[in-house]
Structure 1
Amino acid sequence: MSNTNITLLTSLIIILIGYFLKKYQVIKETEGKVLSKVVLYVTFPALIFDTVSDLEIRYALVFLPFIPLAFCLLLFSICYVLFRNQPATIKGVLFMAATGFNIGLFAYPIIEAIWGKEGLQYIAMYDLGNAFAVLGLSYSLGSAFSPQRTGSKRIDGVYILKKLVRSVPLVSYVVALLFNIMGLSFPFLINNVIGAVARANMAMVLLLLGIYLNFRLDKTFIKQLYSILFVKFGLALLIGITLFYILPFDKLYRTIVLIALILPVGLTVIPFSDEFGYNTRFAGAIANISILISFVLMWGLIMVFNLA
């Protein structure tokens, strides 16, 4: 068995451990929120600093943040045409699901295990654009189409800006890039602490994915659920494979772009749906099923295109 298959199987087993810990109530899903905060506020920012602060800035990297933004805008445009007449309680969920990827709580540990530090550096730059798509575009769409919204109520741009500024991962990206550009570094001891905390991210994220997995589906909206996933992953495969062959960059760069485009729906669709009065069970179903689809597609693409 190849190292890649072993890595993916290992990741799957850790996810399943998290799932069965929740299933048999060793850990409750509500307790998973504590672990989620540890990841978002501690291990993930540490991994960002460890990855981005010594990144070799090249002109090719500048394009990466714009790829998720462009893809999300295109996907939203298609979804708006397809789903504009859907019920108010799910229409915004469909639009938010089209605008963002689950990178920090899905992709990082797998990419780190398969492609190492260089792969992490590429996905980190991609995730910089994704952060703006999720916290800016997705949140704005959720607000704009909310069933709680009155006709005269405007989108609160100041509030959205505050969400961006208060996003610990996004701030970590910006600060790490500034450190990189200015040639700054932390003292040796702090660097060691950051590195140690960053290494804990992989296992914690995979366990968290398992804890959040939920296979209960609301059959009322099963057609819409499969429709959005078919459109999202179909377009992602079409654009991802096209870019893999036409981008004038090295194979790992093109590989990360291809893999990044088939990543799951961002988990923020769930809290955003709750905030704006959408059907949160529908949002959770989209997020969970997209994780399974993404994992299978990732594995298949790696094997078919010999990406590892």
Structure 2
Amino acid sequence: MGAVFTQAISFLLIILVGYLFKFFGLLETKDGHTVSKIILNLTLPATIIIGFNTIEINSTLIILMSLGLLANFLLITIGGFLWRKKSSADQALMMFSQAGYNIGNFTIPFVQGFFPQAIPFIGSFDTGNALMIFGGTPLLADKMTGQKRGTRGVKDVIFSLFRSPSFSTYIAMIILALVNITIPESVLGVVELFASGNAFLSMFMIGLYLELAISRVDLVKVAKLLFTRYALGISLALIFYFLLPLPKIVRLSLVLVALAPVGTVSTINMVAYGNKTSLSGFLSSISIIISLLLMTTALIFMGL
């Protein structure tokens, strides 16, 4: 319990430091883009490599990939149904606020220090998650809202997936596991140097991106969106933990992803489907804080 609580406080402090750097003009929001490139192209793939290096591909990992797909499909469909009578932009906002999980930039950094054995399970779920947020979710949003903003061919979707270094790393490590190849310890020692900076950079980037200014009207809308997301997320977490016949470590991993914040790509799609950048940015920022509190609470109650 102490390790989890310490990790949560540390993350909050790093996020605060990142925000204060922006607030006092030492850095700007645009500097977060540079940090993001370092994370996505270097430290996060290194973390995935370490987490996946000794895994064995089995039915559990296949189940987790499928759950990543199914959870996204279910939540975006529910979101579209709940706000089906609102404008197409608002309906899309509800859909993208429910589906898509921030796993690479938040969930994996959160667990890598004290619960690294969960990374292969979380990463397997993220593989299905990525398939939806880069392809399936926009297609569903187009169908339910009547917009045509996300319609793309299969080639475009595949290209988008493999443009993601984390997704490419997942696939590469899964292939290596299938042919029983592990990376030597001498090489892992170098990889660990890069992976060690992932958690700090991820939280510092979140601080740089943190947005706290929003109108009262938009604040009410965000409150409704986040209440729905976490009501559904907590329900999903309870189903994962108490009803699935899987090992405890797998169920713990699923609880964490169910409570994860809104995905970065989902936030981008909110704007692409006609919503304000300030609203989607604020929603994403607050969801990170809420998820940090909920994930910490869940781990403490589950006795990690």
TM-score of the two chains, using structure 2 as the length reference? 0.91
Q: How many residues align?
A: 304
Question: What's the counterpart of residue 139 of structure 1?
Answer: 138
Structure 1 residue 235, shift from structure 2 partner: 1.4
Structure 1 residue 108, shift from structure 2 partner: 1.0
1:170 aligns to 2:171 (yes or no): no
**CA–CA distance in structure 2, aligned partners of residues 89 and 71 of structure 1:** 22
Question: What's the counterpart of residue 54 of structure 1?
Answer: 54
Question: What's the counterpart of residue 121 of structure 2?
Answer: 122
Q: Larger deviation: 105-114 or 137-146?
A: 137-146
- The correspondence of residues 8-87 of structure 1 with structure 2, limited to 5 A, is 8-87=8-87
- Over 3 Å counting, the alpha-carbon distance change for 1:156 and 1:145 in structure 2 is farther
Q: Larger deviation: 216-225 or 168-177?
A: 216-225
Q: Letter of the 2:122 partner, please give it.
A: I
Q: Deviations over 1:33-79 (max 9, x none)?
A: 00001101111111112211321333222211122321221112221
**CA–CA distance in structure 2, aligned partners of residues 180 and 149 of structure 1:** 39
Question: What's the counterpart of residue 243 of structure 1?
Answer: 240
**CA–CA distance in structure 2, aligned partners of residues 228 and 137 of structure 1:** 21
Q: Deviations over 1:193-233 (max 9, x none)?
A: 22211121111111111111111123333333222211211
**CA–CA distance in structure 1, aligned partners of residues 264 and 36 of structure 2:** 11
1:207 aligns to 2:201 (yes or no): no
Question: What's the counterpart of residue 222 of structure 1?
Answer: 219
- Over 3 Å counting, the alpha-carbon distance change for 1:237 and 1:146 in structure 2 is closer
**CA–CA distance in structure 1, aligned partners of residues 102 and 32 of structure 2:** 17
Structure 1 residue 32, shift from structure 2 partner: 0.8
**CA–CA distance in structure 1, aligned partners of residues 79 and 118 of structure 2:** 31
- The correspondence of residues 269-288 of structure 1 with structure 2, limited to 5 A, is 269-288=266-285
Question: What's the counterpart of residue 100 of structure 1?
Answer: 100
**CA–CA distance in structure 2, aligned partners of residues 169 and 237 of structure 1:** 26
Unaligned regions of 5+ residues in structure 1, if any? none
Structure 1 residue 187, shift from structure 2 partner: 5.7
**CA–CA distance in structure 1, aligned partners of residues 235 and 184 of structure 2:** 45
In structure 1, the residue corresponding to 2:25 is in which secondary structure? Answer: coil
Structure 1 residue 159, shift from structure 2 partner: 2.2
Q: Larger deviation: 130-139 or 202-211?
A: 130-139
The question of whether the paired residues in 1 share the 8 Å contact of 2:65 and 2:124 is answered with yes
**CA–CA distance in structure 1, aligned partners of residues 218 and 82 of structure 2:** 15
- Over 3 Å counting, the alpha-carbon distance change for 1:135 and 1:154 in structure 2 is closer
- Over 3 Å counting, the alpha-carbon distance change for 1:300 and 1:210 in structure 2 is same
- Over 3 Å counting, the alpha-carbon distance change for 1:22 and 1:128 in structure 2 is same
Structure 1 residue 189, shift from structure 2 partner: 4.8
TM-score of the two chains, using structure 1 as the length reference? 0.89
Q: Letter of the 1:61 partner, please give it.
A: L
Question: What's the counterpart of residue 113 of structure 2?
Answer: 113
**CA–CA distance in structure 2, aligned partners of residues 275 and 239 of structure 1:** 28
Q: Deviations over 1:151-192 (max 9, x none)?
A: xx9544432232123222111110111111112344665433
**CA–CA distance in structure 1, aligned partners of residues 158 and 45 of structure 2:** 20
The question of whether the paired residues in 2 share the 8 Å contact of 1:68 and 1:100 is answered with no
The question of whether the paired residues in 2 share the 8 Å contact of 1:148 and 1:277 is answered with no
Q: Larger deviation: 182-191 or 46-55?
A: 182-191
Structure 1 residue 302, shift from structure 2 partner: 2.1
CA-based RMSD: 2.4
Q: Letter of the 1:51 partner, please give it.
A: G
- Over 3 Å counting, the alpha-carbon distance change for 1:155 and 1:194 in structure 2 is same
- The correspondence of residues 249-260 of structure 1 with structure 2, limited to 5 A, is 249-260=246-257
Structure 1 residue 266, shift from structure 2 partner: 0.3
- Over 3 Å counting, the alpha-carbon distance change for 1:183 and 1:149 in structure 2 is closer
**CA–CA distance in structure 2, aligned partners of residues 122 and 178 of structure 1:** 16
In structure 1, the residue corresponding to 2:37 is in which secondary structure? Answer: helix
1:196 aligns to 2:162 (yes or no): no
Q: Deviations over 1:254-287 (max 9, x none)?
A: 1111111011010112333444443222211221
- Over 3 Å counting, the alpha-carbon distance change for 1:143 and 1:36 in structure 2 is farther
Structure 1 residue 142, shift from structure 2 partner: 5.3
The question of whether the paired residues in 2 share the 8 Å contact of 1:146 and 1:278 is answered with no
The question of whether the paired residues in 1 share the 8 Å contact of 2:35 and 2:205 is answered with yes
